[in-house]
Structure 1
């Protein structure tokens, strides 16, 4: 009897329903922990010196709780926080006392620093008290700023930037961080007098992470489910007109020796605009945007059968970006903004996003691209997302995505075939996101369908997962079914026509206090791929591992795995030699390895990741991956990353003769130097050597933040062939941006 493909989804549905009903009316965990914020009784000057009367009269938040290494006691390191406000700004003050003498640990003065490698303070605010979305602001011990958008209850998008100011000062036994956050920077509903809030501190000298409102150690301190209450003495002020114009001017030159084309000079103007329709609903406009200053992607060696995913970094797409980008799963995204403007210029775009009230969120986006150099006609991209909060922390959402090729009827057949153009591609989806009161139960149920012309059976997607996380246990299951003809041209769905089951379980044990090992335990994860009706298995991975978490926060993970793959299409196992294994061939292998990350407190940090074992066609694969970093505090951070893969093939019945007795050595080297002259002047030099795609890249980026959220960029990019080091192309761009509040 054939198994029904719906059974995994019924199981997840019933489990989600049980958890949902169990937690539907639960109160927020730390709701009764309150910080009462009062209007400032004097002017506040942001200088890191809390000598104003307003600070003397503000409520004191102290007695932090330890989160790491253990969450069973008060914090050993003393931290005090105060907040106040006036008509324009929300003010926050952290006073960080020392427990252990010595220099503070910081990576650099660069914005949005690596959390785990810096002594730092973080503020988390949930302006709608919905335990799902919010803002985070912070600084490290030398004044480098941190800001981001909180989504999914605890995740932070640090690519978001906005206008605010802060200062850090030192005393004999403490360091002080003081900040002013304009209300125009925040999004909140008129009249709401109760927000969510939490304060977090990381002190690397004692390896202690602490929070004012207690947070279980298995969750990040950004978890809004554990936020305390920020109680206002009156409704936060309405800021009046909230309009920002952000124009840019750009000049540059580009030489493409590979294409033997003449040198091109660039002179561009454009602008973004942010219009606050309400204090919680924002309209973004962009005309002729340019993203040349965005940091380059960190390349990866790709030995997978599917394309890699790189994150969105362009500012226009980031605010409330979770409404669009987090619909679905990591490998089932009906919308992925990096598809827009990938090979064509963006002419203009409009985006409406934010809160309608505490329960409803809306997102609307429309982007227009122009005709590209290959003759591909202009295209229009439209997205609508609507999200409704369900009870305490869960939500239900719908999304519609449309990609339309303009003037399609006049496009030549050869151009259509060469670029895979369709007249339109549309997706419609609905999902339910489960999040329990304590964040210990999370899950999702998803349905998607697509519409493309000349496709008789527009197929669909079913997916669901449930995950339980406690101090000792992590256990869950995920199921996916993606149809044969499902298509998401504006999304990221690298694999179609499959069914998948992915159960996992992990357990942690805690030895007696005082030892070098804080916790340790096993992990088991099974990943099974089937035909889409779940009747025939096509691929699986069985992984068992053991993890050690050390008291100094270094970690070690040892693992072993067994893999089976039945190729459904021809595949080049090197993604380099262009020699393919036949469809239908079956492959099995075993492998093992370990991953080690050093303690972050040291000036010299490193990580090592290894893999050795079998590979396709009875081959062998050795992978050595590592990163070494050294910091000359606080001005210079040097990182050297290296990824080496050795693929060796001998004899196998399905092995093409071109691969017999062949060995391939794939290198990806990436030295990076960050020089932070001040917390407003940064120089980044990033070099990447990748012989898999025959490219050697140099990217140098100088950024001067001459005013809050206003920058001058100088970006130089050079690309060479990695085998001959002949020049492929190079460019130089100067870009000036200014944030103007109307």
Structure 2
């Protein structure tokens, strides 16, 4: 299998080796500004009059066979400090613009918006994205893996939006200090994208096939500089914080705790493409709380990283493996211990090489009595047209190990070595991975490796692919996310779309997916799911999907099917069931939006499970967005021989309810109130956050958190934090 897969990967790469962007002949020639520019959304300066005009956008959605029906004009220029961009968005239909709120990094599909994509190394793999919605809310993110965008990245730049009866204008200035690029490169990749919800049209200046996002760097045009982009002056930013807070754990009857902390982050531009990040005594109290999930799975749930320090060039570390098979997951750092300090070097060495180095030091806590050190090295080399080979080494080291009493259960270190090949074809039609991981711990035993891969083909109508995984019984990744070990997996999938001549339906088609788990030697099947769905995509971008599935599980260890009652099904027991469901998402153009998802069918131990998910949102645009989400699961167990006595004729009702209110008084002052009721983990959480962005990338936060017992609403703990941060360019 390995030989055949390697041969297939190399053959695919040979077909696309050393190719350029599909739109390389589409050129935007950027010239130095001939006059000063004021970022006010008014395009009346001489420099704008003399800049090249990019117009005649191509339609991407609903179809990609014509020019856009809504006119969009774009111009670019620059001076010694900034790159300037202006979008002029003309209206085709009357009526108000569709805007969810003034919140930063808005939901792309629910806002009229403009997006800029920059491939500063012209490698069609990594880049930057900037944008705004029609009321001026900003969007920025790091681009990786050809088309993915991490919106958790933030940096310092300015923009302004103005609008009248026939158009809206977005003008921005992006400091060269904010970007990462190699000195001397006079050709970048660029594309401009617009979403107009009144006409449900998504368009791009350089054409992009409809099956791909407009962020696809494989389809960028060429940005040709009239001279070398200016070298940024000293690029050092210090971001100190001051924090005061008070908290009390009433559940454990602890006295009130008062805290006062100071710390800082720093960003040092080692080169125009390589950055050093430093942190001392970091605090992440202002980070939004995780959205809770009802857990009826046999494995640990995944929650994404939200802490700012770990995010720039985060794909170098976080993109290894799959979401459920990661040798490194940064949320493991500081999980039970406070982070004392850390350093990270990341970025481009040249067009072909990227590097990431990270070292984090934690202190002691009640949960962990010894300090820990976390070190990560990642190196990535571009090969062929857009593919790359990456290597990572992860080390978790327990300090002062001699003082550990229980050496039988506490390990001195855990290390992982990972190598990965990422396939990205020149036209983005073929994507895939091939990877091998190996772990090292004291008294390491055999069968401590991972071998996995996948390949996926996508065109306008057809999607087809297969994935496999083989994970050893002794593989451990203490700084990773690997919820299950000792298994083999095969996962083929196929989907097809029809495009009818209809005023209301854009496309429809089936999808089929088979997921099979085996013992490590593939001698016995332990789990499978057969899933078939039919999806309808409407022209107003609302969607409807109906599905059926069959599941089989052979339990390799005891399992509580409620994750609540403490009643376990026996190891070696077999479980089969059928289920079906319907999902619907409403059109985003309406002020009232909603989505519903349902599932009904069998469950473990011959039981039944009903799941109802729903979310309703209403916006008083652009200032207030109210969302109510609810998740209901009902489990019923009948009197069957396989059912434990404590579950017979029992019904379990799990509710997860989460009303949320987002108020954006301006694009600099935000208020969020998020309430979550979860009776499965017997907790009610209230998180209230006020954020004032008084200066670009500088904030004042006031955060209040409450936790209650869901049955009695008795207070568990409370905390109030006031935090001040300032972004200072040295």
TM-score (norm 1): 0.98
1:328-727 alignment runs, 5 A limit: 328-413=321-406, 421-457=410-446, 459-512=448-501, 514-727=502-715
Deviation at 1:123, TM superposition (A): 0.3
**CA distance in structure 2 between the aligned counterparts of 1:259 and 1:435, rounded to whole angstroms:** 53
Deviation at 1:479, TM superposition (A): 0.4
1:163-174 alignment runs, 5 A limit: 163-174=156-167
Please name the residue that 2:50 is paired with: 57
**CA distance in structure 2 between the aligned counterparts of 1:613 and 1:676, rounded to whole angstroms:** 42
Is contact 1:569–1:582 with CA below 8 Å preserved after alignment?
A: yes
**CA distance in structure 1 between the aligned counterparts of 2:601 and 2:432, rounded to whole angstroms:** 34
Number of residues paired by the alignment? 730
Is contact 2:124–2:189 with CA below 8 Å preserved after alignment?
A: yes
**3-state SS of 1:380 partner:** strand
**CA distance in structure 1 between the aligned counterparts of 2:274 and 2:676, rounded to whole angstroms:** 41
Which of these residues, 226, 231, 243, is aligned with residue 236 of structure 2? 243
Please name the residue that 1:108 is paired with: 101
**CA distance in structure 2 between the aligned counterparts of 1:25 and 1:288, rounded to whole angstroms:** 45
Is contact 2:336–2:367 with CA below 8 Å preserved after alignment?
A: no
Is contact 2:379–2:391 with CA below 8 Å preserved after alignment?
A: yes
Is contact 1:612–1:620 with CA below 8 Å preserved after alignment?
A: yes
**CA distance in structure 2 between the aligned counterparts of 1:515 and 1:683, rounded to whole angstroms:** 41
Query: What do residues 292-346 of structure 1 show as CA deviations (whole Å, max 9, x unaligned)?
Result: 0001111111111011111111110000000000011111100000000011100
Deviation at 1:19, TM superposition (A): 1.1
Against the structure 1 CA distance between its residues 560 and 10, is the aligned structure 2 distance closer, same or farther, given a 3 Å change threshold?
farther
Against the structure 1 CA distance between its residues 198 and 375, is the aligned structure 2 distance closer, same or farther, given a 3 Å change threshold?
closer
Which of these residues, 133, 143, 151, is aligned with residue 150 of structure 1? 143
Q: CA RMSD in A?
A: 0.9
Deviation at 1:375, TM superposition (A): 4.7
**CA distance in structure 2 between the aligned counterparts of 1:46 and 1:305, rounded to whole angstroms:** 53
Query: What do residues 69-110 of structure 1 show as CA deviations (whole Å, max 9, x unaligned)?
Result: 000000000000000000000000000000001100000000
Deviation at 1:535, TM superposition (A): 1.4
Is contact 1:356–1:362 with CA below 8 Å preserved after alignment?
A: yes
Deviation at 1:404, TM superposition (A): 0.3
Is contact 1:618–1:651 with CA below 8 Å preserved after alignment?
A: no
Is contact 1:189–1:357 with CA below 8 Å preserved after alignment?
A: yes
**CA distance in structure 1 between the aligned counterparts of 2:106 and 2:467, rounded to whole angstroms:** 33
Query: What do residues 438-468 of structure 1 show as CA deviations (whole Å, max 9, x unaligned)?
Result: 1000000000000011232251000010000
**CA distance in structure 2 between the aligned counterparts of 1:347 and 1:580, rounded to whole angstroms:** 41
**CA distance in structure 2 between the aligned counterparts of 1:624 and 1:87, rounded to whole angstroms:** 56
Is contact 1:251–1:268 with CA below 8 Å preserved after alignment?
A: yes
Please name the residue that 1:3 is paired with: none
Deviation at 1:408, TM superposition (A): 1.4
Is contact 1:566–1:586 with CA below 8 Å preserved after alignment?
A: yes
Between 1:446-455 and 1:51-60, the stretch displaced more is: 446-455
Segments of structure 2 that go 5 or more residues without pairing to the other structure are none
Is contact 2:337–2:368 with CA below 8 Å preserved after alignment?
A: no
**CA distance in structure 1 between the aligned counterparts of 2:262 and 2:462, rounded to whole angstroms:** 54
Please name the residue that 2:70 is paired with: 77
Query: What do residues 356-401 of structure 1 show as CA deviations (whole Å, max 9, x unaligned)?
Result: 0000000000000000123521000000000000021000000000
Please name the residue that 1:184 is paired with: 177
**CA distance in structure 1 between the aligned counterparts of 2:360 and 2:566, rounded to whole angstroms:** 36
Is contact 1:450–1:458 with CA below 8 Å preserved after alignment?
A: no
**CA distance in structure 1 between the aligned counterparts of 2:622 and 2:18, rounded to whole angstroms:** 48
Segments of structure 1 that go 5 or more residues without pairing to the other structure are 1-6
